[in-house]
Amino acid sequence: MRKRIVLVPLAAICCLFLSCNEEKGFVLSCPGKQAAVWFSPNAPAPLKLAFEDLSNDVEKITGTRLPEASHEAEPGSYSIYIGEINDAAFRKAVGPGIEPYDTLAGKWENYVVKTFRDEAGALKLLIVGSDARGTMFGIYHFIENYLGVDPYYYWTSMEPAKRTDLIFHEVLITENGPDFKFRGWFINDEDLLTEFKNGGGRRNIDYPFYGQVVHPETIRPVLETMVRARFNLVIPASFIDILNAPERKLVEEAHKRGLFISQHHIEPLGVSAFSFFNYWKDRGKSPKFSFYSNREELEEVWSVYSKAWSAFPNVIWQVGLRGIADRPMWMADPNVPQTDAERGELISEAMEKQVEIIQTVVKDDDPFISTTLWAEGSGFMAEGHLNVPKNVIIVFADNSPGWIWQRDFYNTPRAKDHQYGVYYHHQIWSSGPHLIQAVPPAKTYEMFGLAYERASNDYLIMNVSNVREFVLGIDASGQMLLDMQSFDPGKFLATWCHEKFGKEGEQAKTAYESYFSAFSTRGQYDLPFLLDGHTKNIGLALLDQIDQSLDKNKAGSRPRRDLEVAEWARRFLPGMLEGKDLDDKELRQQVVLQVEKMKEALAMAEAVSERLNGPQKIFLETNLEVQAKIMIGLGEWLKHVMQAKERIMENEVKMALFHLDEAVTGLSYVKNAQRRASHSPWEHWYRGDKKMNIEHMIRQTREAMDKISQNTAQ
């Protein structure tokens, strides 16, 4: 078992700091004295940003900044030494004190943070990493454990406690490497982030959800949170077109933070269908987006975009072949062969070509390349229809959201010429969760544990959407990925609630557990089937049935495309269809039961909230109460839409109108809950709500009422 040592001195825990004239303590900051920092002239930009964060945090706590890092004075005059083990200038500056840590050399993200005495007997602080990220993470680990700064402070609004002195008897952190090599976030379905702040730039995309690019002032705290929590990989948006300057800016911001950068699984080599169409539109052409029918045109775009992406180091390239808007390739081109074997062979050919292109544009002789086996990719892999090129990281996906791994995860032999990882959903559209969290830390721990046990820990990317709704799950996940072996989900939740809510932590923990257990589940794996997206889709389908019952011209079979999508989802995304076979009576019973359980969880949370104040109260309300209210309101809406349909079928028009009016009231309850979560600085958080789109649901419900009233008048 790997050893990880974190020694937090009594001074750091109890705030019993030594006075500034106490010679036995290491002085980081106190009135009239701040630690002087030696920083290597070779330090990369991400390390300098990490030091800037350290200085900002010290200022938040004490009111005084650390002086700017320097390397010009005599080394012995400094209090803190920050650098990489293989940096000759750093080793020379520190002197003999660095020698015991030669074992760091050549390791992945290892670091040591410790106090030591120099030859003159002065107490100094050493932050040394095996590589630049190791050093950077050492800085952030020190900030979290010794200064008490929550990596997620931006999302919780919980700033560190004010102190006069920051003096420590001893500092010791030893990190011998993470349990998962690449650990990342996929900023996907980011409708709230895109319009939280206007002015991020326009996107040239034929898609209703992403007309605007996430503003740099919004993506920066996302990326800062990631490095503070020691994640090292990001897919910074859906459908990035790197040739569009505002979207390229997102990649540049990620690069500044020292993160590895990857691409959405529907945009191999950075090319989505949208960028393909834009590229050829600028050239006066409109070829079909197809590796089968227009191979040369697609390969040209792959080559152009690969050259643009190759300007950035630390890219984890994505290879694969999919269609438009996260659908299979054959839906973009009906000429594609019809058998699974032929389709798998086509995808395999595309991956081989993509690897060839990557090798022509990158300077690294051994680039990182991955393929994400989501949906049909997972099915084809499980059935033996895919041949993944050597040295490509094979990434298995969950069933969406993260409740079970799919068949290919279990039946794919782990070969020596591949590495393996997983793609995990804290959020997914359209089933949900999206506006609410639903996957508890215990379930995530079970899933990550299986990935670790089955040698699939080289890469893990989490779909975290707009981030704010999923802080609890992301925090738990990050700690697991660093150290699976010592993580305990029950202890984590207890500690997390204590840190966030103080003496009310135990009651808050009970409220969170009640919330997570409130979701109705069914089937072999107890999969949830009434998440926010599920609920919306079921209700809108019922409203459509009401509309068809009133307008016989609309009645009939579903469009061929809808049937094709449904069949694809049935085969390759079974978890998203859970509950489809329930009859109306069973479904309504489950809706009512879930609402009742959510109300119980809400009552528990509100009882805790009454005893809180300030940021603690606001965060509990935002992270738990509001989310329970959203689910209650959606449940009430669906229940009444179901009852309205029944009344229409029985020609009870007045009762149908009554229930639809009550359904609108349920959605108004959701809107009121969102307003409660829109306090400063989050006033415009729901401005970009285009995925769930509560306003659209209200309009659809009222339109059904108008249609019923018009038919009655006739």
Please return the burial class of 174, using the count of CB atoms within 10 Å of its CB with bins 0-12, 13-18 and 19+. Answer: middle
pLDDT at 326: 85
For 307-319, how does the pLDDT look when each residue is reduced to its tens digit (9 = 90+)?
A: 999 999 999 999 9
pTM of the predicted model, to two decimals? Answer: 0.94
pLDDT at 8: 52
Query: 336-364 burial by CB neighbour count: b if 16+ within 10 A, else e?
Result: beeeeeebbbbbbebbebbbebbeebbee
- CA torsion sign for 359, 362, 367, 370 is negative
Q: What are phi and psi of 26, to 5 degrees?
A: -85, 120
* Amino acid residing at 143: I
pLDDT at 523: 81
Q: How many CA atoms lie within 13 A of 581 on its CB side?
A: 6
660/645 Cα distance (integer angstroms): 9
Contact, 476 vs 489, CB < 8 A?
yes
Q: How many CA atoms lie within 13 A of 707 on its CB side?
A: 19
Q: What is the DSSP string of 540-590?
A: HHHHHHHHHHH-GGG-SPPPHHHHHHHHHHHHH-GGGGTTTT--HHHHHHH
Residues of the chain with pLDDT under 70: 1-24, 70-76, 97, 100, 552-563, 574-580, 714
Return the DSSP state at 70. B
* Amino acid residing at 711: N
Helix (H) / strand (E) containing 341 = helix 340-361
pLDDT at 2: 44
Query: Which tokens is 254 given?
Result: 């990620």
- Neighbour count for residue 622 (Cβ, 10 Å): 23
Contact, 64 vs 58, CB < 8 A?
yes
Nearest to 214 by CA among 465, 536, 408, 24: 465
Q: 471-482 vs 441-453: helix axis angle to the nearest 10?
A: 30
Nearest to 246 by CA among 185, 204, 187, 195: 204
335/293 Cα distance (integer angstroms): 7
524/205 Cα distance (integer angstroms): 40
Rg of the chain, C-alpha, whole Å:
27
Longest dimension (CA), the chain: 97
126/94 Cα distance (integer angstroms): 8
Contact, 80 vs 124, CB < 8 A?
yes
Pure H helices in 650-685: 653-676
15/380 Cα distance (integer angstroms): 57
DSSP helix/strand/coil, 520: coil
Nearest to 632 by CA among 600, 679, 655, 677: 600
- Listed as own residue / partner, the contacts of 642-651 with beta carbons closer than 8 Å and 24 or more positions apart are 642/542, 642/584, 642/587, 642/588, 642/591, 643/588, 644/542, 644/546, 644/704, 645/542, 645/545, 645/546, 646/584, 648/546, 648/549, 648/550, 648/708, 649/549
pLDDT at 21: 57
Name all domains of the chain by residue range, CATH numbers in brackets: 5-175 (3.30.379.10), 182-487 (3.20.20.520), 521-713 (no CATH)
393/238 Cα distance (integer angstroms): 21
Nearest to 66 by CA among 76, 56, 77: 56
Nearest to 318 by CA among 257, 244, 368, 247: 368
Contact, 640 vs 657, CB < 8 A?
no
Beta bridge partners of 240: none
* Amino acid residing at 437: Q
pLDDT at 291: 96
pLDDT at 525: 81
pLDDT at 451: 98
